[in-house]
Amino acid sequence: MERKALTGIRVIDMTQFEAGPVSTLTLAQMGAEVIKIERPKYGEQARMGARSSHGTQGAGADSIHFALLNPNKKSITLNVKTEKGRKILEELIKTGDVIVENFAAGTMERLGFTWEKIHSINPRIIYGTIKGYDDRSPFAKYPCFDGVAQAMGVVCSITGEHDGPPMMTGPNLADNLSGIYMATSILAALYQREFTGEGQMVRVNMQEVVIQTCRGAFVCQFDDDQENVRWGNIKFPNRAPHNMYPCKKRSEDSINDYAMIYVSPVPGSKQWPTFCNMIGKPEWAEDPIMSDPFERAMRREELDAVISAWTVQHDKEELMTLLSEAGVPCGMVTSTKDIATEPFYRDTKAVVEVEHPVLGKHLTLGSAWHLSASPCEVTPSPTLGQHTDEIYKGLLGMSDEELSQLKEEGVI
């Protein structure tokens, strides 16, 4: 087998839903052996909560939702609420380099697996835990999901129209970024272990992760003690052009025919005069008011009306090409359908096709990591308990008789 960046690293994956699975997926994409522990019969909760038109329903379901979060992993079943199950988990911890969980606060402790206990079982292991809030927070024991973390992490307060209510972002920002933060923290801990020989505990909480994405919003707060507000697509109220502009409609029911245009406000930038010439307003480049970035931002409505009248004459692909090749930043709005159907994304492996034993051939997302000496090869998500015999017999040395007994007792 070709050696990957994390070949030889074993991850005990006790994660669920999205934040945790993203962290272990990232490590799996880099070559780690990720052993996902799931409940007997039912599996991880995300299997049960997602509909799939060509998947299965009920206990141990396979769905596109689960498949998107769990490629490149192995699945075993284990009931850690039983005494025997906890003993087996101890044996797995002994073999691991990393263990990751994102259960509700206090769950691991109630199972008897405090950091101190885990560290005593395997002093070299890295223990990663994702929670909603910091352990010292007054909200530490409160349940938290993506939208809750976005609300608590400033994002909603700065997202939405100026005169409208706070809004969540479209993507599951808190879940996915918490997973990435956890994965990168684990990599740092693994590197430090090379020098100390000791593992450590890695904590990530979703609220702080989302707060970190709002650095720009804190400029006014920390500089002038001014609370940031919502500005919709304008985002930077003292810069223009900086907005989403309409393009020629593909069809009557098309809703994503827009492009984002951002012209640098830096004095002396060639982007503004270039842009003025392209939209048929060369005089703006010499106008003392319009050529001043902050002055023209005060005339945003007039500016955007002229720009929109020009952009709507072009389809979004054409507009992006025209402006980008002239050196003016522009990005067309792409939808999930655009990404799924554009051949370019298959070529770059942003979208890949895999063959699953239950789901059959289906599309999934590739890796955003591109390591020249360790390319990611996406394999399908595991069926429930697909690797139970392999791990228990091959890794822990159990016999067929022992496995049969554990299955009868509901331990695996």
Catalytic residues: 175
Question: Is the Cβ–Cβ distance between 264 and 273 less than 8 Å?
Answer: no
CB-hemisphere CA count at 13 Å for 180?
A: 13
Q: How far apart are CA 80 and CA 101, in angstroms?
A: 13
Task: Could you list the beta-strand ranges (E) of 182-328.
Answer: 201-205, 242-246, 258-262
Q: How far apart are CA 96 and CA 35, in angstroms?
A: 10
Question: Is the Cβ–Cβ distance between 129 and 102 less than 8 Å?
Answer: yes
Question: Is the Cβ–Cβ distance between 209 and 144 less than 8 Å?
Answer: no
Q: Could you tell me how many helices (H) and strands (E) the chain has, helices first?
A: 18, 11
Instruction: Report the sign of the C-alpha dihedral through residues 70, 74, 76, 79, in that order.
Output: negative
112-116: long-range pairs with CB below 8 Å, 24+: 112/86, 113/86, 113/89, 115/201
The encoded tokens of residue 386 equal 């697909």
For the sheet with 258-262, list strands across it: 242-246, 258-262, 330-332
Q: How far apart are CA 28 and CA 198, in angstroms?
A: 22
Q: How far apart are CA 361 and CA 378, in angstroms?
A: 13
In sequence order, the β-bridge partners of residue 10 are 33
Q: Which residue has the tokens 């051949």?
A: 343
Q: What is the DSSP string of 3-66?
A: PPTTTT-EEEEE--TTHHHHHHHHHHHTT-EEEEEE-TTT-SHHHHS---TTS--STT---HHH
Query: Left, alpha or beta for 233 (phi > 0: left; psi -120 to 50: alpha)?
Result: alpha
